[in-house]
Amino acid sequence: MPKSMPKVFLLVLAVFCGCGWLVKPAEVELVALAFPSENMVDLTLLIRNRNPFSVKVSEVEYRVAIGGEEVGLGHAPEVLLFKSRDSLETHFPVRYDPAALVGVLPQIMQDTVVVRVDGSYRLHALLSKPKLTFSAERRIAVKEKLEGILRSLLSDEQGKEE
């Protein structure tokens, strides 16, 4: 048996068993948070598959924190397919606690606030489903956003008066 044969066999076995140490975890970037309705946040993540092969993930679970305080969590049970070395921008629903959001109001009134998402997902492999984790954060210039919202509200009010 050639010397390289055991290495090839181990590599093939590891791929078919879904060993997590061969799979590079996804690169996750927090793109946006939107508040479309009461008690619901739309979390937008850009997910990059860094592997030279397609992967399927499922059971994505995540927690959102603002300024270090957890304000919401979510779960997406559907299976997502990520092609080889491809990126996918996807939306996840987050249930948030209005009381927790009120608790971070003093932090939101600062110039900037750090929004952090921590989570996990299952990787679909032939024989197992290893669990991998991710984390992403983004510094948001809150003061600028609030000023923009106030300007648009005031301009709407001025338009109504005319």
Give 106-141 pLDDT, tens digit per residue: 777 777 888 899 999 998 876 778 888 999 999 887
Q: What is the pLDDT of residues 25-38, one digit of tens each?
A: 889 999 988 877 76
Radius of gyration of the chain (CA): 21
Which of these, 55, 65, 117, lies nearest to 88 by C-alpha position? 55
Confidence of residue 1 (pLDDT cuts 50, 70, 90): very low
Q: What is the mean pLDDT of the chain?
A: 79
Q: Looking at the predicted structure, is the pLDDT value of residue 142 above 60?
A: yes
State the Cα–Cα distance between residues 17 and 13, nearest whole angstrom: 6
Q: Which domain holds residue 42?
A: 5-161
Confidence of residue 19 (pLDDT cuts 50, 70, 90): very low
State the Cα–Cα distance between residues 38 and 2, nearest whole angstrom: 65
Domain total of the chain? 1
Collapsed DSSP state (helix, strand, coil) of residue 138: strand
Query: Can you read off the two tokens belonging to residue 31?
Result: 């793109």
For residue 121, the model assigns a pLDDT of 92
Q: Looking at the predicted structure, is the pLDDT value of residue 44 above 50?
A: yes
User: The CATH number of the domain where 149 resides is what?
Assistant: 2.60.40.10
Instruction: Enumerate residues 6+ apart whose C-beta is below 8 A from 108.
Output: 66, 67, 142
State the Cα–Cα distance between residues 157 and 120, nearest whole angstrom: 45
Contact by Cβ (8 Å): 67, 107? yes
What is the length of the chain?
A: 162
Query: Can you read off the two tokens belonging to residue 119?
Result: 């989570």
For residue 23, the model assigns a pLDDT of 78
Which of these, 79, 92, 9, 89, lies nearest to 49 by C-alpha position? 89
